[in-house]
Structure 1
Amino acid sequence: MRIHKPVPQAVLPALASAGASAAAWAGWLGWDQRYDVQADGSTSGPYEVWQVGGLVLTLLVAVGWTAVRGHSAAAVGGTTAGLTLAACVDWSDDASGLFMVGVALVMVGTFVASAVVCAVIDVLRRDVPVPH
């Protein structure tokens, strides 16, 4: 006889946050791999400002939605894991030698930003009375 233990309540929101973050990366940044050559010969890219801004806004909504439902730790951990994994996959063919620096910056930046968003939401949730 097998005894099934319930999945901890934070695992599913964390997995959903990780999946949504990786999907958001793929949707906003994953398709653009081309660097743009400027008139003076310099290069920029591969991402445009609007793509990164769209990713940030999408993640802000996803983290906020998860935190409002009381899963702040899952929002921070899942979003950080999903975005870090997406960056690793997307940048794995980087020849510049800065692959891990970029991934580390994505990981730290995502962790800090999502933790700040969740902290603000948690404070606001405590101040709002719950209707009975």
Structure 2
Amino acid sequence: MGLKRPVLRAVVPALVLAGMSVAAWAAWLGWDQDQDVRADGSVSGPYEPWQVAGLAVTLLAAVCCTAARGHSAAAVGGTTVGLTLAAYVDWSDDASGLFVVGVALVMVGTFVASAVASAVVSAATDPLRRDRPLTR
């Protein structure tokens, strides 16, 4: 019978955003796996602040564009699922098991940030949509 058009309109944007989130993780963070040792012996990393900021800005733009097109739930769900999956795959080789805490923090942080951004953009663009008549 196949999927109906309304289902596709809900699922496709979420899948696209999930894929974009995984690709953005790979582009910004996936290639950097080595921790940095400073002169005083302390260890940081593996990610630099500019990498995390780049990932955040990239995903913020994707969430805002998707929400502006009326797909707020897909923006939140797709980004959260994609980034959580990418973090899990990237960090799952940690033998201590503590990576699960980091993955949970990524999931919660991504959900909250994308939900706030999506709500703000939806509220700002809702009156501008042409498919709904303005009421007063």
Aligned match of 1:99: 99
Q: Could you state the TM-score of these two structures normalised by the residue count of structure 2?
A: 0.90
> C-alpha root-mean-square deviation of aligned residues, in Å?
1.7
Spell out the pairing of 1:23-38 with structure 2 (5 A cutoff).
Answer: 23-38=23-38
Q: Could you state the TM-score of these two structures normalised by the residue count of structure 1?
A: 0.92
Q: Which runs of 5 or more residues in structure 2 are unaligned? A: none
Aligned match of 2:84: 84
Asked if 1:75 corresponds to 2:75, the answer is yes
Once residues 95 and 4 of structure 1 are traced to their aligned partners in structure 2, the CA distance between those partners, rounded to angstroms, is 43
What secondary structure sits across from 1:10 in the alignment?
helix
Aligned match of 1:53: 53
Paired residues, number: 130
Aligned match of 1:4: 2
Once residues 108 and 5 of structure 1 are traced to their aligned partners in structure 2, the CA distance between those partners, rounded to angstroms, is 31
Residues 130, 99 of structure 1: alpha-carbon distance in 2 compared, 3 angstrom cutoff: same
Aligned match of 1:16: 16
Amino acid aligned to 1:39: A
Once residues 66 and 102 of structure 1 are traced to their aligned partners in structure 2, the CA distance between those partners, rounded to angstroms, is 26
Once residues 129 and 113 of structure 1 are traced to their aligned partners in structure 2, the CA distance between those partners, rounded to angstroms, is 24
Q: Residue by residue, what CA displacement relative to the aligned partner does 1:88-111 show, whole Å, maximum 9, x if unpaired?
A: 000011134311100000000000
Once residues 100 and 72 of structure 1 are traced to their aligned partners in structure 2, the CA distance between those partners, rounded to angstroms, is 27
Q: Which runs of 5 or more residues in structure 1 are unaligned? A: none
- Higher mean C-alpha displacement, 93-102 vs 117-126: 93-102
Residues 129, 66 of structure 1: alpha-carbon distance in 2 compared, 3 angstrom cutoff: closer
Amino acid aligned to 1:68: A
Identity %, equivalent residues: 68
Once residues 53 and 104 of structure 2 are traced to their aligned partners in structure 1, the CA distance between those partners, rounded to angstroms, is 20
